[in-house]
Chain A
Amino acid sequence: MANALHIVVCAGIVPDPLQTLEPVTGPAGPGLKNEMVLPAVLDPWAASALYEAAALAAKNPGSKLWLVSLGPKAKLQQVMMTVAQKVPFELVPIDGPIGGFPDAHSTAAVLAETIAALPGLDRTKLLLFGGWESATRGAGVTLQLVGERLGITDQFQGVDQIVQIDLGDSGSFEVLERVEGGKHQVSVCAGAPAVLGWATGNLAEPRNNPQVGMANMRTIMPALQKAKAAKLDANGLSYVSVSLPKQQRTTRVVKDLTPDEIAVELVAWIGAE
């Protein structure tokens, strides 16, 4: 089919945002206290990418969707129990370290190698999706590095929308990327292959669908069992210090002023240099 897409979504797993995080330093470098027992979720921006990818794949018959994720197998399995119920995909797990402190270049190298080896992947139809930044390292470089390693020179970051212009052979599309000042830059790309790092997108989180979950889990469990182990090099990166911010403010709690009195105080504060 002329407009069938091969979409690969790179998505990591991160601690649930509601968890309290405390850094610790071990023999392997910095990490989080009790990291392996913290509840984890799919990285929020990467999750947006997954939902957008699934919607795009559904609109283009014959498309394929892979979810490539690097993390400890046990944590991946826990997160996939929920994610698998959202949209249909083929999981490509990589058994590796968790967290934001490993080097992004090593992560990108492992992801690129895995994607390049995906059976049946047609790189001329490839749309490489992911979050524009992770909620762990937040570097916003992994996807670009993977793209460069795969030779893709049409890349977009902070994507909120993709609109297919030509559903025929060319497959061109319009992309809205976040830029400074609350604006979107509008670009037209001639078609795949391309890299799209997603921000929030426009789609709500899909409701859980047990049938989708059952179908996904048939392939997810065997894939997890066969997941290759990856070791990430530091690439000369070292941590001088890792700490929680110490800034604690002395909060003045004002309980006994009327709205008018508060307003007067606020206006004086707003006007003060």
Chain B
Amino acid sequence: METILVLTHADETGSALTRASLETVTAGLELATRLSAPLTIGIVATDATSAAAALAETGARLLAVSGEAFAQARYASDAAACEALCRAANATIVLAPGSSRFTRVAAGVAHRLSGYIDTHITALGGANTIEASRWFYRQRIEAVISRDLRPWFLLLDAGTHAAFAGASGAAKVEEVAVQLPALRTTVSGFRAPQQDQQTIRPDAKMLLVAGAGWTKKQPDGQIHVAEAAKLILGFLHVTGASLGSSKSLVDQGGEGEPVLPFLTHMNQIGQTGATPRHAKGLSTCCHGEEPHVVGWRFIADRRAISLDPNCGWTRGKADVVYVADAFPVMAKVNALLEAAKA
């Protein structure tokens, strides 16, 4: 019989669980119900008692590692915390959110417990067994996997389950002691663009994808990078959309070609970039497999503006393709959205 542990961690406040953690709680509850297996939830937080309040209605056994040492996402302390929780729970299946914090340490923890790990899990299925779905070759090939050996760690991709939303209340939490190793790393903070310049917004409903066409010569024979930047940022401002980019556009900076100053490799989607999850996606001036196939795998409703009526990458991948010049279209879109907002 399986026993299930869900590992969770707090957000930057130290006293509330992250959304990805709550999504993993939902996955754990579903799996425990299906397999009639006991469920334990482990919490890593500065203030685990406050963080546990959101889990009062789960009915699960709650274990926690808490204290100032766990305010920072750092390999040595997080691995020690997760290892202690796993040993206390003695679970055969460990579910954890695929957050940057747990992605950093989960494999190491699995190794310490003589276990095995699979990551980027998008679904958990199977009848009396556990079958996990994940993608290979950068979202080009989908596979369903299983493992005989235990403990088996499964890191779930964000957005694949609904976040657990039970009523908040007092929860009984068992504190687990951790023997910390010597800490050689100190987290000094975060570095991010200024608020109004932050173009990556994971919680946005819409993704705007900018392709290299924005920086190419226009019908007047000139390049209009400043105008392109204004149109793209204007759209982001009025819609709150997140910005993705094709590899070719991001790479242009290193090749001495005109660049959109707010784009970095972190905006890149596709083969060597992110595969974000948004309800809608609008691609502009893109041509190629990167944005339309790999980068758009988890975009539900897709439209594209392209000058090429025969672009093979949009056919069968986008729901609607507008054969048009993105400059006048986006200028009008922004004007209409601004007018509606006013």
Contacts and interface: CB of A to CB of B under 8 A. Distances in A.
Interface string A195-220: 00001100010000000000000000
A89 interface: no
Interface in B299-342: 301-303, 305, 309, 314-325, 328-333, 335-337, 340
B265 A160 contact: yes
Contact of A185 (B187, B301, B335): B187
Contacts of A138: 120, 135-138
A251 B149 CA distance: 44
A92 B323 CA distance: 51
Chain A interface size, as a band, is: 35 or more
A203 B141 CA distance: 30
A225 interface: no
B324 A178 contact: no
Contact of B100 (A45, A157, A250, A260): A157
Interface residues of B, number: 94
Contacts of A75: none
B188 interface: yes
Contacts of B336: 263-264, 267
A155 B105 CA distance: 8
Interface string A82-125: 00000000000000000011011100000000000000000000
B143 interface: yes
B119 A141 contact: yes
Given A200-B272, A238-B147, A251-B321, A145 B111 contact: yes
B119 A139 contact: yes
A236 B302 contact: no
Given A262-B322, A262-B329, A244 B140 contact: yes
Contacts of B255: 204
A140 interface: yes
B319 A251 contact: yes
Contacts of A245: 140-142, 297
Contacts of B191: 176, 183-184, 186
B116 interface: yes
A270 B272 contact: no
A237 B145 CA distance: 7
Contacts of B103: 140, 157
A28 interface: no
A95 to B, nearest CB: 22
B271 interface: yes
Between A183, A191, A250, the greatest number of chain B beta carbons within 10 A of the residue's beta carbon is seen for: A183
Interface stretch (B56-64, B164-172, B199-207): B199-207
Contacts of B323: 253-255
B190 A179 contact: yes
B107 A144 contact: yes
Nearest to B256: A204
A187 interface: yes
A153 B337 contact: no
Contacts of B76: 153-154
Contact of A177 (B100, B105, B118, B332): B100
A137 B336 CA distance: 44
A153 B75 contact: yes
A45 B147 CA distance: 28
Contacts of A183: 190-192
Given A179-B100, A180-B202, A251-B316, A101 B136 contact: yes
A181 B337 CA distance: 25
Interface in A124-183: 135-142, 144-145, 147-149, 153-158, 160, 174, 176-183
B96 to A, nearest CB: 12
A233 B268 CA distance: 35
A135 B206 contact: no
Pairs A-B, 4 closest by C-beta atoms: A182-B200, A263-B332, A236-B149, A141-B107
Given A105-B117, A182-B201, 10 more contacts: A135-B138, A138-B138, A139-B119, A153-B79, A188-B186, A199-B265, A259-B332, A262-B305, A262-B324, A270-B282
25 contacts: A135-B137, A138-B138, A139-B119, A140-B103, A144-B104, A144-B111, A147-B108, A153-B184, A177-B100, A178-B266, A200-B272, A235-B147, A236-B147, A237-B146, A238-B145, A242-B142, A251-B315, A251-B321, A253-B323, A254-B323, A259-B332, A260-B332, A263-B335, A270-B206, A270-B239
Interface of B: 73-76, 79, 99-101, 103-108, 110-112, 116-120, 131, 135-138, 140-149, 181, 184-193, 198-202, 206, 239, 254-255, 265-268, 271-272, 280, 282, 289, 297, 301-303, 305, 309, 314-325, 328-333, 335-337, 340
Interface of A: 15, 17-18, 21, 23, 30, 44-45, 100-101, 103-105, 135-142, 144-145, 147-149, 153-158, 160, 174, 176-191, 199-200, 204, 235-245, 248-255, 257, 259-260, 262-267, 269-271
